[in-house]
Structure 1
Amino acid sequence: MASHTAYPVYEFHTTLESYQLHKLNQMLVFLVKENEFYRSKLTGITLPLRSMDDLLQLPFTTKQELVDDQTQFPPYGKNHTYPIQSYARYHQTSGTSGRPLKVLDTKESWEWWETCWEEVFRSSGINKNDTVFLAFSFGPFIGFWGGFEAAKKIGAFVICAGSQTSKERLATMMENNATVLLCTPSYALHLAEVAEDMDLDLPNSSIKTIITAGEPGGSVPSIRRQIETAWGAKLYDHVGMTEMGAYGYSCQTQNGIHVNESQFIVEILNMETSEPVKHGEKGELVLTNLGRYGYPLIRYRTGDVVINHQEKCPCKNHFRFLPGGIIGRADDMVVIRGINIYPSSIEAIVREYPEIKEFRIIYYTSGDMDQIKVQFETTDDRVEKKLSSELRERVGLRIETEAVEPGVLPRFSMKAKRVMDQRNNRITI
């Protein structure tokens, strides 16, 4: 828990803002000298910065810049500060919204990742007495690699189930009395569905804590409630990005996400004007990492939409609190008949119906008008009418609904792809 308010700078202790400014200036001075990508971006900036207000002088970094950098200077681009011989880990983004980014970490940068993940475990109450089950495939996706390393570091017993089927994973969990499950929200729901077919009593199993990541959901009350009911466990959310780091986690109140401000600087900006948004308004999350010298990011536009909240969380953690966690993705938003639609908003409503096992959102064009349809699996004939009415009332738009047979829609073990964009021959996203 980050309840303390004093942070070490040399032999002194200071405020969080002064600590961040010190760490930021250390990094900026280093990057101007050693990092080709940021040397050119920071041309004309007077260092050191005198206050955190000077942060606004620094240019943004975008994902497209990073992709273009790696295209122009393959394979890793110029934002990798050190010679290739200095790096120890390779990861890449999922590529769901474009070309995958290749991200390397030095030994020191990877230890920084572990430190960030330790904060996730601490906030979730995980310790050396737990058995942590990682239900995901080990590959270049960074997702739970950091979780695996941090779990080892805190002394927990770690079980990896990369090559197992869902049934095998459930059996291994039960046989080894795993207490903690790490997976995506979608996969937690899918495992519960498989467990039901296997006649497993999940609510009375050894799993007491679930940490989800990889997609929005863990901070959405309806999704969290459905997962916790199915498992009889408490769910904690975690957010991070391959290119940025493991920056956020939920606390015991489970009302949203705390950003680890000892390692990240937070800004929430209007997506059109780039100005800070007011309290209670939605904006784009812009982050700066402070400890990843091997792959730094300054004022990175994450594309994540969050609510700017100035008040402190009741849990007494003084780090920045984002109620509801990640509300959606800026690049996921579509406008249908004048209404802004985020897939996560649709899912929040759908997940209020435990009778619905899986769903899919389809955007399509009828005549000259863009339309939206929600397909869902259920065996309850009464659900469709209720869902249709609920969607229209809360979204403010008539949304077509279609019930399909159970088992028709795809399941996902990693990031779910529940949106099909068929407008004017667009592709699945």
Structure 2
Amino acid sequence: MENGVTLQVRETELGLREYQLQKLNELLVFVSQFNEFYKEKFQHICLPIRTMEDFQKLPFTTKEELVEDQKMYPPFGRNHCYPETSYIRYHQTSGTSGKPLKILDTESSWKWWRDCWMEVLKSSGVTNRDRVFLAFSFGPFIGFWAAYEATKEAGALVITGGGQSSKERLYSMIENEATVLLCTPSYALHLAEVAGEMGIDLRHTAVRTIITAGEPGGSVSSTRKQIEKLWGAIVYDHVGMTEMGAYGYSCSEQKGIHVNEAQFLVEIIDPQTLQPVKEGERGELVLTNFSRYGYPLIRYRTRDMVIHSTVQCACGNPYKFLPGGIIGRVDDMVIIRGVNIFPSSIEAIVREFAEIKEFRIVYYTQNEMDQVKVQVETETDIEPLLADRLRERIGIRIEVERVAPGSLPRFTMKSKRVIDERDCKNQVG
């Protein structure tokens, strides 16, 4: 890539859209011959496609389809282009939104994963002079597995924290003078809480950069600022999916996420009408990965909600910019008394109060009406102030309930801070 604007392909400079169209045709020709899942799905399409409008006539791919395909063709389904002997990596989705999806990667696809993560490291300023600590369990969830490979490729020192307690991880980071921490936003906050109990001031450690993933928190301004204050480090966000790849990263402006358009095609649609949304509107992120031939996904509905914007980020990166990053999941949005609510919107307000150690959102039914309350762990009487701010920002009255210290769960990976106890769930999705 030259200045992020043109791409060198077979000794010919192409603009981004021409390059993407070429990559799409190469992918479509390949899967139509060697991928049984897409061969059936695209049996009536004519290749090559001439325009992006033609591409948008192709059917979407959903996780439900892939899960059903694996059920019908166990154990791995048909979305693979090579014999099973060509695959070297196994991962599965976290299962937070249904049955886990099994994913296989060839050696080439795994290197592609690593290269996508290299862009995340570059955007965060990580170099071979860094010591990178991965606070990650290294199970079948893909998490930071690809980050581990990218960190090695970047020449930085990799320090893994698999199988360690939070205290052991803190000691390891401090003793080995780690300069970069990779974890979820929730775990960064939890480590700070544990450090406080141990009498450790994280601002005096060598950690200067934190790269978060797995939750929207890294792009939630109040959450990011709270982490940065506790650690004395800069927080960079990253977004990816086990089934899709590491597709996005934040930048020095810290106002959202850039999608790596050299490797992914972006669409943003209304989840109800399935039509493109307008400038400034919220919509569902749809992605296509160009070069993961071992496990391709074409027009994949991620179920992640983002804001469509054509404005270029002030950092100068010309790639697609998503203001505020991932603002929630289509499945997470609920309607309470006529108001659309995303958990991330509540978190953005709760995290403005440093006195709150942990929180949980509870949806419930009272007198046949759906309600929402926020449970908080805090040692100060901030319930009235928080309730006022929630009502002002969200637009409805939200009860704030103070609970005993240590009574709410802590999370090392993806957090689960929403409890739905309603009699009749009206979630959209």
The Cα of 1:4 is off from its aligned counterpart by: 2.5
Question: Partner of 1:257: helix, strand, or coil?
Answer: strand
Partner Cα separation in structure 1 for residue 80 and residue 32 of structure 2: 13
Q: Runs of 4 or more off by more than 3 Å in structure 1? A: none
Partner Cα separation in structure 1 for residue 203 and residue 21 of structure 2: 47
Instruction: Give the aligned partner of residue 292 of structure 2.
Output: 292
Partner Cα separation in structure 2 for residue 124 and residue 6 of structure 1: 22
Q: Using structure 2 for the length normalisation, give the TM-score.
A: 0.98
Partner Cα separation in structure 2 for residue 387 and residue 301 of structure 1: 35
Instruction: Give the aligned partner of residue 150 of structure 2.
Output: 150
Question: Partner of 1:22: helix, strand, or coil?
Answer: helix
The Cα of 1:273 is off from its aligned counterpart by: 1.1
Instruction: Give the aligned partner of residue 399 of structure 2.
Output: 400
Whether 2:394 is the aligned partner of 1:420: answer: no
Residue type of the partner of 2:371? Q
Instruction: Give the aligned partner of residue 104 of structure 1.
Output: 104
Whether 2:48 is the aligned partner of 1:48: answer: yes
Question: Partner of 1:286: helix, strand, or coil?
Answer: strand
The Cα of 1:2 is off from its aligned counterpart by: 7.7
Partner Cα separation in structure 2 for residue 263 and residue 158 of structure 1: 26
Whether the 8 Å contact between 1:362 and 1:372 is mirrored in structure 2 is yes
Identity of aligned residues (%): 64
The Cα of 1:214 is off from its aligned counterpart by: 0.5
Partner Cα separation in structure 1 for residue 95 and residue 4 of structure 2: 38
Matches within 5 A, 1:269-284: 269-284=269-284
Question: Partner of 1:57: helix, strand, or coil?
Answer: coil
Partner Cα separation in structure 2 for residue 217 and residue 303 of structure 1: 17
Partner Cα separation in structure 2 for residue 266 and residue 394 of structure 1: 30
Matches within 5 A, 1:2-401: 3-381=3-381, 383-401=382-400
Residue type of the partner of 1:48? P
Partner Cα separation in structure 1 for residue 127 and residue 387 of structure 2: 44
The Cα of 1:338 is off from its aligned counterpart by: 1.0
**1:51–1:425 distance in 2 versus 1, CA, 3 Å:** closer
Deviates more, 1:91-100 or 1:45-54: 45-54
Partner Cα separation in structure 2 for residue 138 and residue 407 of structure 1: 26
The Cα of 1:425 is off from its aligned counterpart by: 8.4
Whether the 8 Å contact between 1:304 and 1:327 is mirrored in structure 2 is yes
Deviations 1:126-160 (A, max 9, x none): 01000000001010010100000000001000000
Residue type of the partner of 1:291? S
Partner Cα separation in structure 2 for residue 256 and residue 215 of structure 1: 13
Whether the 8 Å contact between 1:45 and 1:57 is mirrored in structure 2 is no
Q: How many equivalent pairs are there? A: 425
Residue type of the partner of 2:326? I
Partner Cα separation in structure 1 for residue 3 and residue 37 of structure 2: 36
Partner Cα separation in structure 1 for residue 180 and residue 100 of structure 2: 30
Residue type of the partner of 1:287? L
Question: Partner of 2:95: helix, strand, or coil?
Answer: coil
Instruction: Give the aligned partner of residue 411 of structure 1.
Output: 410
Partner Cα separation in structure 2 for residue 81 and residue 416 of structure 1: 34
Q: CA RMSD in A?
A: 1.0
Question: Partner of 2:218: helix, strand, or coil?
Answer: coil
Deviates more, 1:306-315 or 1:49-58: 49-58
Partner Cα separation in structure 2 for residue 81 and residue 366 of structure 1: 52
Whether the 8 Å contact between 1:3 and 1:318 is mirrored in structure 2 is no
The Cα of 1:3 is off from its aligned counterpart by: 3.6
The Cα of 1:337 is off from its aligned counterpart by: 1.1
Partner Cα separation in structure 2 for residue 365 and residue 51 of structure 1: 49
Structure 1 portions without partners, runs of 5+: none
